[in-house]
Structure 1
């Protein structure tokens, strides 16, 4: 089957590329919701972040006594996946360890990325299996970007947390997670999206943002998100850019002033040999 893969429901049309198993298009009744990667702002669309989220100090990551070069957000987003299965409404891409991956991540693994549409809902799930004989430490995150506003919507944007919370804000220092926790920009779960929010880079909420939120505009569709096994949330845009990233993670950038050890990074997953960890997000277009 050719690359990219196209799947659809009665409401949604989705395109997924083999490179990075990355979502390329999400159209609601032929209106594009997903950012299309204009390099004048940011050329990503919805990369998968593995085996780290964010930066390692000096791009160096340690596993016990061995140190490896690790690029920002890991290598999965720039690695070709194999298509394992596809039908009209779903597709499954798989990445397995190779000589190239073991040069920076010394573990045997399998990462399966599954995209599925049903009605007005897209679900993207990732299942990571430890094929090694040792416990495998890693971080994982999703990084989808949405047009601001998407086609069919207009006016300013707002994010509303389903838990009504006001999670503490963390900021990056030199690309690494700062230790300070700042007052929340949310008020009773509500945040108006304005360019000044991102003058100091992404808004990062290490915990407390909950497992669901809604992105709304003055008019047009509402996008409702749910998250599975993704305790960390970031919201990001280039200042003034016409997109907004909703990024659920399990793992963050390395701690500022912290260890280079992968196992010491905040919210690192330690997966036992033979075990599989699942992470997923879904978005439903409403109205």
Structure 2
């Protein structure tokens, strides 16, 4: 099932499975979101919850019991309920259940709120701790932006000129190796070799927005002032780029254990709410 929202400039479509954005078009019918062709990657823009990335051995401990969570968590595969719909906005909800508690023994509600205003799509994440104990989680975005034509015609302009050190992944886990990106001023020219070792992972990145350019012409901006961490990824020869604002990331290769002690994890007190926002702006 798909819900459509629109204004005079943009139209967005969201799948109820995963509350996943699957289309964002302007009024010239230009598509900005990857079409989900499984030859490269069968997703469009999944939400990552209650973990971002991979746990070592896909396992963690809580109160002397062992639990298993697959890469990026389960929310992206679950059916959300549409709880509010306006012409230009939609709110989706996922509530904990016996099924989720087998993997993640906490009481929560996750809401995704999509709102179109002028040339921007605002995406809000709300996590409600509905239990009596603390709620440990990570959450992140994974939007894939369509890049037709020659991949090397595109570049990413970071908001700030800064040393951009990123962590290499090793079997999906954060390795102890970092590299520094070579920028042209604050611009990264894209090529597939950058992603030979999977995603580029930035912890506590200073730049809070990235602009995508084609042949030096800007056409889309991702703003994520609330989010401390970032991933950038594409698989081999794929015609898209993922710009992924995160709270948290994979386990390190030499760390394993308690979810509360996981690097980058958020801890929400009982009966409180977490709220974060990022936006996609058409330029």
Pairing of 1:18-167 with structure 2 (within 5 A):
18-29=16-27, 30-149=29-148, 156-167=153-164
Q: Which 10-residue stretch deviates more, 210-219 or 240-249? A: 210-219
Match of 2:167 in 1: 170
Match of 1:197 in 2: 194
Change in CA separation of 1:38 and 1:13 when aligned onto 2, cut-off 3 Å: same
Pairing of 1:241-280 with structure 2 (within 5 A):
241-280=238-277
From 1, 4, 12, give the equivalent of 2:2. Answer: 4
The answer for unaligned runs of 5 or more in structure 1 is none
Change in CA separation of 1:187 and 1:159 when aligned onto 2, cut-off 3 Å: same
Secondary structure at the aligned position of 2:99 is classed as helix
After superposition, give the CA deviation of every residue in 1:150-188 in whole Å (9 maximum; x if it has no partner). Answer: 8xx997111111122222110111211112332233354
Secondary structure at the aligned position of 1:132 is classed as coil
Q: Distance in 2 between matches of 1:98 and 1:172?
A: 32
From 231, 235, 240, give the equivalent of 1:234. Answer: 231
How many residues were matched structurally?
Answer: 282
Q: Distance in 2 between matches of 1:110 and 1:283?
A: 24
TM-score by length of 1: 0.94
The answer for unaligned runs of 5 or more in structure 2 is none
TM-score by length of 2: 0.95
Change in CA separation of 1:247 and 1:268 when aligned onto 2, cut-off 3 Å: same
Contact 2:166 2:200 survives alignment (8 Å): yes
Q: Structure 1 runs of 4+ off > 4 angstroms?
A: none
Secondary structure at the aligned position of 2:100 is classed as helix
